[in-house]
Amino acid sequence: MHLRYGLNPHQRATAEPIGRPPFRMINGEPSMINLLDASNGWQLVAEARARLGRPVTASIKHVAPAGAAAAGPVDDVIMDSWPIEDAPTPVLSAYLRARDADPRSSYGDLVAVSDSVDLDLARFLGGVISDGIVAPGYEPGAVELLRRKKRGRFLIMEADPAAAHPAEELRQIGGLMITQQTDHDELTADLLPAQLDPGDRDTALLAMITARHTPSNTVVAARDGAAIGVAAGQQSRVDCTRLAVGKASAWWFRRHPTTRSVAGPPGTRRQDRLNLRLALATGDPTPLESGQLLDELGDRLPTAADRAAWLAGLDRVIMVHDGAIPFRDNVDHAARIGTTMIIEPGGSTAADTVEQACTEHGIALIRTGRRLFLH
């Protein structure tokens, strides 16, 4: 497989299959990053599809999911954000929910889809900024629609569900060749309490699988079968928790009536409007954005008390850590977004303190004994 380049344009690269290729190129010429995104994204959605029994999609950026979701209800905020007139198909609903987790990060993503791409999803992708897609199949006409993107350079890959994942992974680092077993341990409902509500069970499984396919340190906040805050690659676990909490808070505050009313200056493009709403939702606008929001909203700008009152309405959040929680501050931050369940491997020297913090906040603590590191 010819690659445009490796991680950077000045690095030449090639890709050769080991055994049966996991996917084939239908259109476009990938870089190494595109292949890494496609591989990680496809593994995520295929595993989640097998566990949840319904379509799953992921929005991948730099080998990490900006969002991941199963097919399900699409709320008015999502419908208002995009030019959607009819009720979305299951595959499209899954992608809308995945992209909604962090629409700013999903700009220019690689889309991973567990099921065949239908015409509705293909048409939708034709109107947003995205770099490529990987899926096990495409309904008649979908590929033709997608080929038109990026002046014919849109990456279209067809995954092979029958391709066996290698039993071992090889990585050459400097003068070392490292071999390890591929992480094939299954993440199933057996790791969760038997009495768990089916909806919470599916959300927990999706969050765990998303964490497994996100570079560590990883914290995933999820609700109603969709990730609403994915934090990746942080050196400090509490920083990772704060990032996931911040993303989930912004996701929720985008549903505030004032945020939804933001239109931006005349002529504002859809993505710029989304970014302006996100600036308001995060509470950290740039000076330019602050001026635009002040001009439009005036005394309707939300106060700190408004934000706190609205955030108090967020509930039923499930948070997954890929590694053991080292200090209770992670739990205290999680409690700010209505977290009702935290899932972690366990084994920290502060395990008792973490458990006590969960009890104080009324958060169920589940310890799976399963670490999910990815590097």
Half-sphere exposure in the Cβ direction for 345 (13 Å, CA): 16
**Residues ≥6 apart with Cβ < 8 Å to 302:** 256, 258, 259, 280, 310
pLDDT for position 276: 96
SS3 state of residue 229: strand
Q: How far apart are CA 121 and CA 92, in angstroms?
A: 5
Is 184 an active-site residue? no
In this structure, the number of other CB atoms found within 10 A of the CB of residue 154 comes to 19
Domain spanning 23-181 has what CATH number? 3.40.140.20
Q: Are 55 and 91 in contact (CB under 8 A)?
A: yes
* Coarse DSSP helix, strand, coil percentages of the chain, rounded to the nearest 5 percent: 40, 20, 40
Q: Where in 71-223 does DSSP place strands (E)?
A: 109-113, 130-135, 155-159, 168-173, 176-181, 219-223
The active-site residue out of 27, 34, 217, 330 is 217
Q: How far apart are CA 349 and CA 128, in angstroms?
A: 47
Q: How far apart are CA 262 and CA 299, in angstroms?
A: 14
Q: How far apart are CA 160 and CA 42, in angstroms?
A: 10
pLDDT for position 88: 96
The gap from C-alpha 206 to its chain's centroid, in whole angstroms, comes to: 10
Is 217 an active-site residue? yes
CA dihedral 47→97→207→340, nearest 10 degrees, is -150
SS3 state of residue 42: helix
In this structure, the number of other CB atoms found within 10 A of the CB of residue 235 comes to 8
Tokens at 73, concatenated: 């209800």
Entry pTM: 0.96
Domain with CATH 3.40.140.20 in the chain: 23-181, 189-256+302-367
Per-residue HEC secondary structure of 207-226 comes to: HHHHHHCCCCCCEEEEECCE
Q: How far apart are CA 363 and CA 335, in angstroms?
A: 8
Half-sphere exposure in the Cβ direction for 259 (13 Å, CA): 27
pLDDT for position 167: 87
Q: How far apart are CA 17 and CA 37, in angstroms?
A: 16
Q: Where in 254-326 does DSSP place strands (E)?
A: 317-321
The active-site residue out of 34, 40, 61, 213 is 61
pLDDT for position 244: 98
Per-residue pLDDT tens listing for the chain (375 residues): 789 999 999 999 988 888 788 899 999 999 999 999 999 999 999 999 999 999 999 999 999 999 999 999 999 999 998 888 889 999 999 999 999 999 999 999 999 999 999 999 999 999 999 999 999 999 999 999 999 998 899 999 999 999 878 888 888 888 999 999 998 889 999 999 999 999 999 999 999 999 999 999 999 999 999 999 999 999 999 999 999 999 999 999 999 999 999 999 999 999 999 999 999 999 999 999 999 999 999 999 999 999 999 999 999 999 999 999 999 999 999 999 999 999 999 999 999 999 999 999 999 999 999 999 999
Per-residue HEC secondary structure of 321-336 comes to: ECCCCCCCHHHHHHHH
Length in residues, the chain: 375
Q: How far apart are CA 352 and CA 212, in angstroms?
A: 25
Q: Are 222 and 206 in contact (CB under 8 A)?
A: yes
pLDDT for position 79: 93
**Residues ≥6 apart with Cβ < 8 Å to 367:** 343, 344, 345, 346, 347
Is 10 an active-site residue? no
Q: What is the pLDDT of residues 81-93, one digit of tens each?
A: 888 888 999 999 9
SS3 state of residue 293: helix
CATH class for the domain made up of 189-256+302-367: alpha beta
SS3 state of residue 343: strand
DSSP bridge pairs for 222: 227, 318
Is 256 an active-site residue? no
